[in-house]
Amino acid sequence: MLCNQTRQFRHCEGWRAGVNNVSLYFQRWHPAQQQAKATVVIVHGLGAHSGLFQPIVDRLLAQNYCIYAFDLRGHGRSEGQRGYINSWDEYRNDLWQFVNWVQWQEGDRPCYLMGNSLGAAIVLDYSLQFPNSVDGLILSAPAVSTQGISPLKLKVGGLLSQIHPRFSLSTGFKQKQPSTRDAAVNEAYANDPLRHSQGTARLSTEFFKVNQQTWQNIGELDLPTLILQGSADVVAPVAVTRQFFGRMPGENKSLYVYPDGYHEICNDINRDQVIGDVLGWLEETVTAPKSLTSLR
């Protein structure tokens, strides 16, 4: 593990073994001067990587939170075919191993999971499978929708998953809508060699299967949960997120919808407001946990 220290923080990076010894790249940021209040583990979305969250990392560090993030298998600097998994268990158990290692590193410090898009789907599934392992969830643009997918495409995808699971195609998300309303961020994304736009037949069928299970079981979620959603997001539609939020248990949940916001809400033009809301929710939840249902 390689580490660098400044007056403000200590940054470390390295690789850890995931399921079946797949090498997974990770990063860790610690405030340099004070004891951290809590730990936040970030799980990125499809085609992304752990290096795309610097604005929120910087703000969390300034308020004495420590942050961990890793590149999913088939993403960023981690091993694996781009956008491919053998089964969803690989995502789930990679995260389980990583969270357990983080908590071993950080002791009894409260631990929160933050997932973006596909990462939010991974975090939700993980939290339903291991309900007592973390203290709360932050979900941005959660990928819980299968809207717009025709039954024929689902059938073809299921067939391909059986006979050619590694079959890969572009997700087409860029054609639907830019990631954010910030032109500079979109340009940086376009020129980022660690990003990709590939999805595979097996990932598609595993995603839809786990999504159905999550909808069926979401009433069992018993963790403080914050959902961040842009109202103009076409990848994770706000109407579906509202419906999903309504299915969640009635306590310890908050949904913040940002007018005209796009999919990468934490890197959109209103990122300061969004990140401020995350910090406010964390401060309230870490220091004075209580039952709270809120819509905004």
Least confident of 91-100, 244-253, 263-272, 281-290: 281-290
Q: Is the pLDDT of residue 98 over 90?
A: yes
Which pLDDT score is estimated for 292? 54
- Is residue 264 predicted with pLDDT exceeding 90? yes
**Phi, psi torsion values for 287, nearest 5 degrees:** -90, -25
> Can you tell me the distance from the alpha carbon of 263 to that of 44, in angstroms, rounded to the nearest whole number?
13
Residue 17 pLDDT > 90, yes or no?
yes
Q: Is the dihedral of CA 200, 48, 245, 89 positive or negative?
A: positive
Give the 3-state secondary structure percentages of the chain, helix then strand then coil, rounded to 5.
40, 20, 40
Q: Which pLDDT does position 140 carry in this prediction?
A: 98
- The confidence score (pLDDT) of residue 247 equals 95
User: How far lies 19's CA from each of 10, 72, 98, 230, in Å?
Assistant: 28, 11, 10, 34
Domain count along the chain: 1
Say what percent of the chain tops pLDDT 70.
88
User: Using the 8-state DSSP alphabet, how is residue 215 labeled?
Assistant: H
Residue predicted with more confidence, 293 or 37? 37
Q: What is the mean pLDDT of residues 93-113?
A: 96
Q: Residue 248: what pLDDT? A: 95
Largest CA-CA distance found in the chain, in angstroms, rounded: 57
Q: Average pLDDT of 84-89? A: 94
Structural domain harbouring 74:
2-295
- CA 136/CA 121 separation, integer angstroms: 15
Question: Which residues, at least 6 apart from 96, have a Cβ–Cβ distance to it below 8 Å?
Answer: 126, 130, 133
Distance set, CA 212 to CA 7, 20, 93, 161, 173 (Å): 47, 26, 19, 17, 22
Average pLDDT value for residue range 194-213: 89
Distance of alpha carbon 122 from alpha carbon 130, whole angstroms: 12
- The Cβ-side half-sphere exposure at 81, using a 13 Å CA radius, reads 14
* Strand arrangement, sheet containing 39-43: 2-5, 9-17, 23-31, 66-70, 39-43, 111-116, 136-140, 225-230, 253-258, 293-295
Give the CATH number of the domain where residue 145 resides.
3.40.50.1820
Chain mean pLDDT for the chain: 90
pLDDT higher than 70, residue 159:
no
Distance separating alpha carbons of residues 42 and 57, to the nearest angstrom: 10
> Which whole number is the average pLDDT over 131-147?
91
pLDDT for 251 equals 78
Report the range of poorest mean pLDDT among 25-34, 98-107, 129-138: 25-34
- Please determine, for residue 166, whether its predicted confidence score (pLDDT) is greater than 80: no
Which pLDDT does position 28 carry in this prediction? 97
Range of weakest confidence among 130-144, 148-162, 265-279: 148-162
Judge whether residue 51 has pLDDT over 80.
Answer: yes
The per-residue pLDDT for range 168-183, each reduced to its tens digit, is 766 665 556 899 999 9
Average pLDDT over residues 128-149: 88
Please determine, for residue 21, whether its predicted confidence score (pLDDT) is greater than 90.
yes
